[in-house]
Structure 1
């Protein structure tokens, strides 16, 4: 797996692309012409070069440049997006002012790294842009307006609407580099979702593996949208953050295969990083009173869902049993933080199969 990742192509964050476009536009205003490429400095000090896609000097005070985002081999929704920056020279002592253009969101809920009303241009990209513009001219007085072509539509495929970032995408990045298939961006979104919920004084959070389990939870609980966290496979990302940022009540909702792995002690539920232990599952079925022939059938099974279906036919309460085991793992992980915990297991049609409380 590691050898495979090393061969994958790294990419650039929206923050790095915006930095390159901003520097290109500001350089053009100072020089009177655009270059085909521009070099910027990433937070760790590495220098990288970007090709400028579109550019135009509007007048002696304003210029626009854009970069096409290359996310490498990462399945990023913004891969191929055009990141545009409009630089406008301001009066003296205004400093650098950031503005959300078309396709870039605005913060509407407290709890994020920026205050309500600010453009969703995160702190590190702002830092990168400031550094890049100061490389061109010390202490510039400019407005930096960042836009993303089709950004409002792309944002619908992200967690931004749930986080209260409305009108478009966030300009993100902490290193400037997109690591292929990195878990960091998703886990960071989970953390920001928890921050937003806590800032809204929500006491009950529901973290779900996917849409089906989330919709099932919504039928049970009427809660604000900010209470729902899409954790995917990263239950560990939820639990570890809640140890230092607790809430009163946590519900985890997911399918039988994922939560069987959780019950067996896995906090990363991705199929490539954890597997159902059918030998242990067979032992648990035996504890429920199954005959030896059925226990052996479970030991040789191919899917957890098939095991659960067969147990349902035999009236073996495996779902509730697994939910209790998963609950024990969650309680141990959150120790010594104590609050109400619930496990909600669903099938692929959204039917509730098993439930456990503490």
Structure 2
């Protein structure tokens, strides 16, 4: 597939499932064993996929597509997404019943776009699979009902490396994809996962949400807030503004954020997204904050010429100086967090040193809308 900003794009589990379903339907209804299959993408566009396997299976047919995540670091890259298609009069004339089999997760908690008890096949890929099977039926002149069962060998093991267990999706991976295409390192993909996790937390009646930039900072936050449920923890990575706005918009009254000094400097700068590609570190501003924290002038100048935020913090003369700088940065960061979250929620910021030692715990109370 084409490259986007130097990175190769891939396709989603939903697109792979649609391809497998169409290939199986073509084999079942027309006897054709396709080497490739052309599938519709959600919204618009089409994509041609190589078929890894297609065979008759009893009274039905089975086909498989190997998921290609492109250059995205996706645990489902290389997964075999299979689908068995059978004639199913119960689906009604022209109807397509879609189900999840082995390796496809099942929803057990509210708040997701799929109802509790159903296979974790999101609405867009569900429609995509139905459309792909319907195309095969039309090509073969079949007007009866069909049943498509999506399977993922090893899907349960893959799911342990995803957020599915936390979201209450058990037994396998989710079949996902709003566009059908995987765009490497996509912030939109992160934002979608944040929104989904927040929907689950809200459906479980959590009033507090704990954001972190990754697994380590999440573990440290939960040590500070042992009452925080696992389902109320969301790894927001660099999506500062989006996560805060999404949580406030869903009515969370208390928002905690955990980070390390590197991200804290970006937050103090007021960047909506703290990824390295979204904005450079402002070391001149950092030098000024070092002065505000009471650092000696020589250390402030050295911090202004540092290579990284970590390097700058390592120039501190002892733990009190590091904590003082973190306190100044936290004050700046909280002001921008309030701007992103609006006046409603309480905001708390937990900053940890690179070795996990707590540096700062700061916060602000909700503001009245009149200011």
- Using the size of structure 1 for normalisation, the TM-score is 0.93
Q: Secondary structure at the match of 2:217?
A: helix
1:68 equivalent in structure 2: 66
Measure the CA separation in 2 of the matches of 1:125 and 1:223: 33
Question: Tell me, which stretches of 5 or more residues in structure 2 are unaligned?
Answer: 365-371
Q: Secondary structure at the match of 1:269?
A: coil
Q: Is the 8 A contact 1:133 1:140 kept in 2?
A: no
> Displacement, 1:242?
2.3
1:168 equivalent in structure 2: 172
Residues 1:158 and 2:162 aligned together? yes
Cα-to-partner distance string for 1:57-114 (whole Å, 9 max, x where unaligned)? 1233x11100011122222221111100011221244543222211111111100101
Measure the CA separation in 2 of the matches of 1:332 and 1:272: 22
Q: Is the 8 A contact 1:71 1:78 kept in 2?
A: yes
1:248 equivalent in structure 2: 253
Measure the CA separation in 1 of the matches of 2:144 and 2:189: 31
Cα-to-partner distance string for 1:139-177 (whole Å, 9 max, x where unaligned)? 652222111122112112211111111111111111111
> Displacement, 1:134?
1.7
- After superposition, the Cα gap between the structure-2 partners of 1:306 and 1:299, relative to the gap in structure 1 and judged at 3 Å, is same
1:122 equivalent in structure 2: 122
State the Cα RMSD in Å: 1.8
Q: Any residues of structure 2 matched to 1:21-100 within 5 Å, and which? A: 21-60=20-59, 62-94=60-92, 95-100=95-100
Residues 1:289 and 2:288 aligned together? no
1:134 equivalent in structure 2: 134
Residues 1:343 and 2:355 aligned together? no
Cα-to-partner distance string for 1:104-129 (whole Å, 9 max, x where unaligned)? 11111100101111101110111111
Residues 1:328 and 2:332 aligned together? no
Residues 1:178 and 2:177 aligned together? no
Measure the CA separation in 1 of the matches of 2:115 and 2:231: 17
Q: Secondary structure at the match of 2:276?
A: coil
Measure the CA separation in 2 of the matches of 1:14 and 1:235: 27
- After superposition, the Cα gap between the structure-2 partners of 1:314 and 1:206, relative to the gap in structure 1 and judged at 3 Å, is closer
Question: Tell me, which stretches of 5 or more residues in structure 1 are unaligned?
Answer: none
Measure the CA separation in 2 of the matches of 1:257 and 1:93: 55
- Using the size of structure 2 for normalisation, the TM-score is 0.90
Cα-to-partner distance string for 1:185-207 (whole Å, 9 max, x where unaligned)? 22101110000000000011100
Measure the CA separation in 1 of the matches of 2:312 and 2:104: 47
Aligned positions, number: 353
Q: Greater shift after overlay, 274-283 or 19-28? A: 274-283
Measure the CA separation in 1 of the matches of 2:303 and 2:46: 55
- After superposition, the Cα gap between the structure-2 partners of 1:6 and 1:140, relative to the gap in structure 1 and judged at 3 Å, is farther
- After superposition, the Cα gap between the structure-2 partners of 1:180 and 1:205, relative to the gap in structure 1 and judged at 3 Å, is same
Cα-to-partner distance string for 1:7-49 (whole Å, 9 max, x where unaligned)? 4322111111100110111111111241222211222432322
Q: Secondary structure at the match of 2:209?
A: strand
Measure the CA separation in 2 of the matches of 1:190 and 1:124: 18
Q: Is the 8 A contact 1:212 1:349 kept in 2?
A: no
